[in-house]
Amino acid sequence: MVSSGWALSSGPYTYTIYEVVASNAFAGLWSGAFIAPWDWRRRNKGSIIVGASSVPGDAQELLLGSALLSDPPSPECLIKGTVDRNGERTYHSPGQLSYAQIDMTKKPAERWFCSETEAEATGWRRAAQ
């Protein structure tokens, strides 16, 4: 899978040479731009975009999307999603007591939602306050 470009080399059994071959051939993942899976959960504006020989200038914006924006992606998307230390995902709507105190630039796991339905469909629950 690594030599075909559909997996990355990691762990105690590395296949780095096969990864180099795949990247030089622009095979699989290497045909475009991507963020390594182990960097995805902690992505931020400093995340390294890898892939094709010349990563497009807007690749970071496209790959990171609204997950990193401190401001909502649009006026309709005002619901703030947060993840606590235990991994519990809650969303906060405008008007809730805790809404104004949430700083969307603090944690990489925070994100914006456009509706409560969207938040709940992706596994988040409404905050108590």
- CA-to-CA distance for 86 and 24, rounded, in angstroms? 41
How many CB atoms lie under 10 A from the CB of residue 8? Answer: 21
CA distance 58 to 75: 22
Nearest-angstrom CA–CA distance, 39 and 97 = 33
Range list of H helices, the chain: 16-24, 37-40, 59-64, 116-121
Q: With a threshold of 0.85, does the pTM exceed it?
A: no
Give dist(CA 105, CA 22) in Å, integer.
36
Instruction: List pLDDT tens digits, range 10-45.
Output: 766 677 888 889 888 989 998 888 888 877 766 666
Give the model's confidence band at 80: pLDDT under 50 very low, under 70 low, under 90 confident, else very high.
very high
pLDDT of residue 17: 86
